[in-house]
Amino acid sequence: MNNPRTRNFVLYGVIAVLLLAIFIGVSNSRSRPEEIQFNTLVNRIHEGEVAAISVVGDEMTIDFVDGERARTNKASEATAQEQLLNFGVAPEEIGAIDWEFHQPSSLPGIGFGLLTAFLPILLIVGFIFFMFRQAQGSNNQAMSFGRSKARMFNGDHPTVTFDDVAGAEEAKYELREVVEFLKEPEKFIQLGARIPKGVLLVGSPGTGKTLLSKAVAGEAGVPFFSISGSEFVEMFVGVGASRVRDLFEQAKRHSPCIIFVDEIDAVGRHRGAGLGGSHDEREQTLNQILVEMDGFDTDTNVIVLAATNRPDILDPALMRPGRFDRRVVIDRPDMRGRERILKVHTRGKPLASDVDLSVLAKATPGFVGADIENMVNEAAILAARKNKKTISDADFQEAIERVVMGPERRSRVIGEAERRVTAYHEAGHAVVGHLMPHGDPVRKVTIIPRGISGGSTLFLPDEHSLMTRSRMMTQIIVLLAGRAAEEIVLDEVTTGASSDLERVTKLARSMVQRFGMSDKLGPMMFGQKEEMVFLGREISEQRDYSESVAEEIDVEVRSIVRHAYEEAHRIINENRDKLEAVAQRLLEVETIDAEEFAAIMDGIFEPDAASKDDERPTSVSKRHEMPQETQPDDGNDKTPPIGAAPSPA
């Protein structure tokens, strides 16, 4: 009966039986004929009005000639006919009646009588039972409203260890101390060392913060409590604080253990900030977290791990020593880190002999662990779609482009004129990027639309933690090369370079205002960005410079862009033959890989021989309404391709 489904089934069964009994009782009461006296029956027999009599036990049912029906009971133990003879009914009159005799069924009568007698009692008991269960359920919900919603995972059978985490070696080294403390706390206590009570994992989305916390629990072999910061906060004031208390009480009962709070910025934002000034429930919850964390003793063996991608908006009291006194930054992986992550995610997958993980790692700048996992999964799906037994390098290259830009769109049909514009636009990016001293190697050039991009030029960039002025100028020149090629070859410009111009303007303005790369204005930073802590986004820029300086900034930005555009013009004019060769090849096959592009630029490409061996499908799709050309100037996000097909305004 502890199963709620069983209890409900029994309850509904009792209610159904009661309703059936009521229905039978009402039906029987309505169908039973009217009762008459025995003397009345005798008189009507004398008058010849009785047609038939049915006798069941002591009850007689009389059917009259006019269709009427009545009933009466025998007056003594004698039979019905004997009683009628005693009351003066002649034998001839008795013989004229159609008689039926039936044996009485005592059990149904007794059951129905008992059911009828106890029906009110059963109804009352059932109603009380139903109300009691409803009240008990409501009481349980009310009592559990302030309990923690954390999910507990037992550490006896770990599913994630440090071997499953790659690309974050420094973070794993920092967290190994936490594992050692959970395994051997005496080692630290004997030396008077105090393990950090809280460890804050900071990193961009998808870098593996949650995975690292699970690995810590798996390595230590201890219980793991997982909860999101938003699960503390409710519309009722005080519920979040109650859940915090319940969570830490559970953790102390299961110590040594780990509490992991994901997205702690949902409850740990700076107090008193925001549009409304405060939020009582969130601040009470935060206060309770502060008290619980600061009240830990070294012998409780409970460690709090938290993850966020916005450490700048957390309350200072939460970040002080004694609470989250250690901050572990999980940055985007570099090329070696991405190669290690690829080895983890390709483990157990059949790879073709042409797959080189180091090349794939170099072709995925800015990818985090989640992006790489998605890319490997997409490659496996593409290989399965083609009924292949192994995953080839072509599948991985296609998967990279799908992750960055989206799937190919080969169904769009446009005119040859716009197709030609697209080819020269992408050829301009590729040729200038190849010839620039600080340019990156070209990996692929295509005029096939993909996602919201109408065409793209992909490079293999060398990763740099610091961007030089010459490299930023190279980026600007390469971005402007598509528009320059359109203007030189077609004597016309289109809207296809709109996002190129947007990126160029942001880069040039950042060089002047943020990085001090202007010879005229000098090494200064102009403008302070403002953001609302509660909103977590930049809303304005505080101008700490005069109008005359603002005018000089505009002049410098315009000068940088103009110089880059002139340089792009010069390179294209000096290498017009190479631009024509690349554009014509794009019009023929739509996609050029790195080897073919290098052969064209070196002048050793044989188009006839290549065309015979080329089995790539030709697409009639060349355009999308909006080009995709967004690239941050800090290099922290996935680097999208340069260039896009023209699109109408």
Query: Is 426 a catalytic site residue?
Result: yes
Residue 226: its H or E element:
strand 224-228
Tell me the one-letter amino acid at 173: Y
**Cα angle value 44/49/55 (rounded, 5°):** 75
Q: Strand order in 257-262's β-sheet? A: 151-153, 224-228, 257-262, 302-308, 198-203, 324-330
Alpha carbon distance 280, 264 (integer Å): 17
Q: Six-digit token pair at 610? A: 């290549």
Residue 216: its H or E element:
helix 209-220
- DSSP label of 266: G
Q: Six-digit token pair at 309? A: 């991608």
- DSSP label of 461: P
- DSSP label of 436: S
Q: Which of 492, 476, 495 is nearest to 567 (CA)?
A: 476
Kindly give the residue spans of alpha helices, DSSP state H, lying in 520-593: 547-574, 576-589
Residue 261: its H or E element:
strand 257-262
CB atoms within 10 A of CB 391: 22
Locus of tokens 């793991």 = 224
Q: Six-digit token pair at 250? A: 């559970």
Residue 117 makes CB contacts below 8 A (sequence gap 6+) with none
**Taking the C-alpha atoms of 76, 82, 87 and 91 in order, what is their torsion angle to the nearest 10 degrees?**
170
Report in angstroms the alpha-carbon separations of 552 from 323, 507, 517, 558.
48, 17, 14, 10
Q: Strand order in 69-73's β-sheet? A: 34-35, 69-73, 59-64, 50-56, 98-102
Alpha carbon distance 358, 285 (integer Å): 47
| Residue 582 contacts residue 600 (beta carbons within 8 Å) | yes
Locus of tokens 């050039």 = 445
| Residue 334 contacts residue 361 (beta carbons within 8 Å) | no
| Residue 380 contacts residue 355 (beta carbons within 8 Å) | no
- DSSP label of 619: -
Alpha carbon distance 520, 152 (integer Å): 61
Residue 394: its H or E element:
helix 393-404
Residue 193 makes CB contacts below 8 A (sequence gap 6+) with none
Catalytic residue among 219, 231, 378, 426: 426
| Residue 512 contacts residue 531 (beta carbons within 8 Å) | no
**Residues labelled as active-site residues:** 426
